[in-house]
Amino acid sequence: MTKLYEIREVLITLYKRYERFIVPITKFLVALMVFVKLNGFLNFAKVLNNPVVNILLAAVASFIPGNWLVLLMIFIISTHLFYVSIEALAIIFVMMIIIYLMYIRIFPKMGYFIVAVPLLFSLGIPYVVPIFAGLFVGPIAIVPVCIGVGVYFFSGHMPTILSIKAADLTDLPDSLMSMYKTITDSLLNDKAMMLTIIIFIAVILITYFVSRLEIDYVWYIAIVAGSITNLLGFIIGNIILKTDISIIGVILGSILSIVFVAACQFLKVCLHYTRAEKVQFEDDDYIYYVKAIPKIKIGKQIKKVKRINNITK
């Protein structure tokens, strides 16, 4: 175990030393994956589905905050829709701008969750997000996570939505109303999406509230509790609603979520629970009972070199 703590200290030291390089490179790689998948999925504006363009967009995204990244994605999606359907462009653009103005503009960092959920869904490991959000962010992450789930499932209805087109300008109002009705009906009748949103909310809340309990190893207990909630929720929901969600995928994804989030928590902080102390002190108004748990820190080993000089007479 000591070796594991030493590795942790080395990783933290390296991160602090090269943070200015690690952060933009990580953002670049994630953004590149997002833009490649997004442009490859829509693929209406051929100029955007170009490796050079994707690299340039990812380079820009690596130096901008989360809310600007969402704006950049809105621009890309709108450009693709412009080539195929003015009606879809009008409705979807308004929906995206409303979401941006009502939430992302106020909570800029939450934009990363909206991007992360569809990306991790495409990679088959979306269950990391609600556990991570519940442990490190809290209930405030519910809205962006649910938006991200909606974006992912909405993409599955895009072919049906884009098939609705006006014959001429006189049919445009009817076409817009028909498309709006199709969008709302598709989302409201999507059992898999509704089930996923409900379970993700439950996972975030349970992980958050369990992590606030005053027990040893509470963060890891919260991770396991969130994963069990996720697993049982999808199993029971799949039986009741008869959705086509893969239970095997949920099991594997839940296991990977435990490993990933536990590793993040391990890197964030480690406590020496066996050395916990209870302290009592008071002031003029209160008596305080405090439980103090020291953090585990591995000191650097100092290597001593002993020189032996052989003097030949």
What is the structure's pLDDT at 313?
46
Q: Quote the crossing angle between the two packed helices 191-211 and 128-136, to the nearest 10°.
A: 30
Length of the chain: 313
What is the structure's pLDDT at 133?
95
Six token digits for residue 253? 């994804």
Phi, psi of 278 (to 5 degrees): -110, 125
Alpha-carbon span 255 to 251, nearest angstrom = 6
Alpha-carbon span 134 to 148, nearest angstrom = 15
Distances (CA, A) of 86 to 170, 193, 201, 291: 14, 26, 34, 62
Whether residue 14 is contained in a domain is answered as no
Alpha-carbon span 263 to 260, nearest angstrom = 5
Whether residue 266 is contained in a domain is answered as yes
Phi, psi of 80 (to 5 degrees): -60, -45
**Other Cβ atoms closer than 10 A to 101:** 10
Q: Residue 94, Cα to own-chain centre: how many angstroms? A: 24
Alpha-carbon span 242 to 236, nearest angstrom = 10
Q: Which helix (H) or strand (E) holds 281?
A: strand 277-282
pTM exceeds 0.95 for this model? no
What is the structure's pLDDT at 270?
83
List of the chain residues with pLDDT < 50: 302, 313
Token match 């990812």: residue?
58
What is the structure's pLDDT at 198?
95
Write the burial class of residue 239 (CB in 10 Å: 0-12 exposed, 13-18 middle, 19+ buried).
Answer: exposed
Whether residue 69 is contained in a domain is answered as yes
**Other Cβ atoms closer than 10 A to 17:** 10
**What's the total number of domains in the chain?**
1
Q: Which helix (H) or strand (E) holds 290?
A: strand 287-292
Q: Which helix (H) or strand (E) holds 3?
A: helix 2-17
Alpha-carbon span 32 to 57, nearest angstrom = 8
Alpha-carbon span 127 to 69, nearest angstrom = 22
Token match 């200290």: residue?
9
Six token digits for residue 262? 């536990």
What is the structure's pLDDT at 303?
53
CA trace torsion 28, 32, 35, 36 (10° rounding): 180
> 165 is in which domain, residue-wise?
64-270
Six token digits for residue 96? 């995206």
**Nearby residues of 273 by Cβ (< 8 Å), 6 or more positions away:** 216, 217, 293
Nearest to 87 by CA among 189, 169, 26, 153: 169
SS3 label, residue 269? coil
Nearest to 208 by CA among 228, 223, 230: 223
Whether residue 305 is contained in a domain is answered as no
Whether residue 71 is contained in a domain is answered as yes
Whether residue 45 is contained in a domain is answered as no
Whether residue 70 is contained in a domain is answered as yes
Whether residue 206 is contained in a domain is answered as yes
Per-residue pLDDT reduced to its tens digit, 107-153 = 888 888 998 999 999 888 899 999 999 999 999 999 999 999 999 99
